[in-house]
Amino acid sequence: MHKEIIWYTQEIGDTPEHRIIEYYDPNTHEVKMIETFENGKLFSREDLRIRRGLVSDYDEFSPEQVLVRSKRLIPGTNTYLFQHFSEKSGNIQVEEIFDVRSHELISATRYVYHNGKLAEKVPTDKLGLRSGFVEYFTESGELYKTTEFRNGIPEGLSVDYRSEGFPVSSLRTNELGEPVSVSRFNKLGNKI
C-alpha cells in the first residue's frame, strides 16, 4: 500500500506578494522544496529531494507563469541539464550540460526558430562554436540536411535528405572546408 507523505510548510515574508514557502518532511524536518513568489506569482521552485552536492532540480517562471529556465540532474551521471525557454512561445532556446562538481560547461545545443517553427538544432562546444552535427529542418518540421562542424567550421560530413528521410547526397570536406568526396543516393538510400 502506497503511503502518501504530507509535508508541512513555513512561509517567510510578510506579504502574499513577496514570500517564500518552504515544504518540510514531517519525519526528518528537512526542507524538501522551496517556492519563491514575486508580485503574488510563482517565480521559482527548487526541488531539494533530487540533489547532488549543491545542485538540485530547479524551475524559474516568467510573470506570465511560463517556464523560462529549468535545471535537471541527469540520472546516472555527474552532470546536469540547464534549459532556457522563450517567454513568448515557450519553445526551448538553449540546452546546456554542466559538470556537477566544477559547474563547467560540457556542451550546449542552440535551437533556432523561424516563424515559430524549429529551423536549426545547433550543437556547440565550450567556446560557443558550432561543433558536431547541425540539423536543418523544413517549414513542415522535416529534417532536410545535416552538416558536421568542428571548431565552428563545416568539416567532415554533410548530408542532404529527401522527404522520405533517405539521403540524396553527401559531401565530405577537410579541415579547410574543401570538398574531399561526394556521394549520391537512389530513392532507397543506396549509394549510386
- Is the pLDDT confidence value at 189 over 70? no
For residues 58-70, give the mean pLDDT. Answer: 92
What are the grid coordinates assigned to 54, written together?
549543491
Could you tell me if 165 and 144 are in contact, meaning their C-beta atoms sit under 8 angstroms apart?
Answer: no
Is 83 in contact with 70 (CB distance < 8 Å)?
Answer: yes
pLDDT at residue 187, rounded to an integer: 66
Cβ contact 11:17 at 8 Å: no
> Mean pLDDT, to the nearest integer, of 62-90?
90
Give the pTM: 0.72
Give the per-residue pLDDT at 3.
55
Instruction: Give me the long-range contacts of 132-135 (CB less than 8 A, separation at least 24).
Output: 133/157
What per-residue confidence (pLDDT) applies to 166? 65
Q: What is the pLDDT of residue 153?
A: 82
Q: Would you state the pLDDT for residue 70? A: 94
Query: How far is it, in rounded angstroms, from Cα 111 to Cα 96?
Result: 11
Pairing of strands 105-114, 92-99: antiparallel
Per-residue pLDDT for 164 more than 70?
no
Residue 59 confidence (pLDDT) above 90: yes
If you average pLDDT over every residue of the chain, what do you get?
84
pLDDT interval class at 188 (50, 70, 90) = low
Residue 9: CB atoms within 10 A of its CB come to 10
Contact (CB, 8 A) for 23 and 9: yes
pLDDT band of 123, cuts 50, 70, 90: very high
For residues 132-144, average pLDDT: 88
What is the 3 state secondary structure string of 74-133? Answer: CCCCCEEEEEEECCCCCCEEEEEEEECCCCCEEEEEEEEEECCEEEEEEEECCCCCECEE
